[in-house]
Amino acid sequence: MQFSANLGFLWAELKLPDAIRAAKAAGFDAVECHWPYDIDPAHVKAALSETRLPMLGINTSRGDVAAGDNGLSALPDRIPEARAAIDQAVAYGEAIGARNIHVMAGFATGAEAHRTFVSNLQYACGLAGSKDISILIEPLNRYDAPGYFLQTTDQATIIISEVDVPNLKLMFDCYHVQLMEGDLTHKLTQLQNHIGHIQFASVPDRGAPDHGEVNFDHIFDVIKRLGYSKPLGAEYKPQGPTNLSLNWLKTAQLI
């Protein structure tokens, strides 16, 4: 199997270009990140070209984090800001060759938030589609992100069906889905046609996938048997230096 290093958590102490190089040295097949916007995209693109690693995805801006924002696209009173964040992400993603953009919904609830999210996703998909970029939406669990608009895969698939465009997909994060819904084997099977990217971390501590309540050797085998061949995103929080958390990697690459 192939794996992507999520550089929002792995080698987070390094500048993004150096983290890309560290991921290559450790044997990862791809990279992804959260919010790279303080780094000149030319420097990121140079590191990607040097290492020949694809950048699988970036996130839209969370907004005013100090004020409690965690995304903007489901907030009815923040549409201009949400679309500016989408514009920023698409422009940056195009500049570095990112394949996906995760549009973050934010803290909201209700029918108006749903309509706003759908409208902003239609805008994002239209803009990104012209750049050959896919848009991802990701349910977040209620423990780490209480009040986040998008919390379940059922809710996500309703939205994906309503927007009804080929470049809107589900980001299936095994960590979040296990905490909210469980039943990962069946969920992966049922949702395979909607999935654009898969991420993972141990449950419940969001560490490396070699411990916790989920048997990731089994989950990786399920994903392989489903015919999913894109790199899986290692989005976990290492307990100490990243290089000391990678014992799982070489074994998992053999699955």
* Active centre residues (catalytic): 138, 235
Contact 57, 101 (CB under 8 A): yes
**In sequence order, what are the residues at sequence separation of 6 or more whose Cβ sits closer than 8 angstroms to the Cβ of residue 107?**
68, 69, 70, 71, 75, 145, 147, 148, 149
CA torsion angle 241 242 243 248 (round to 10): 130
Cis peptide before 166 (omega within 30 of 0): no
DSSP E strand stretches across the chain:
3-6, 30-32, 57-59, 100-102, 134-137, 168-173, 195-200, 232-234
Please write down the HEC assignment for all residues of 136-179.
EECCCCCCCCCCECCCCHHHHHHHHHHHCCCCEEEEEEHHHHHH
In one-letter notation, the amino acid at residue 17 is P
If you search the block for the tokens 């570095």, which residue do you land on?
96
Tokens 């994903």 locate to: 223
Q: Which amino acid is at 220?
A: F
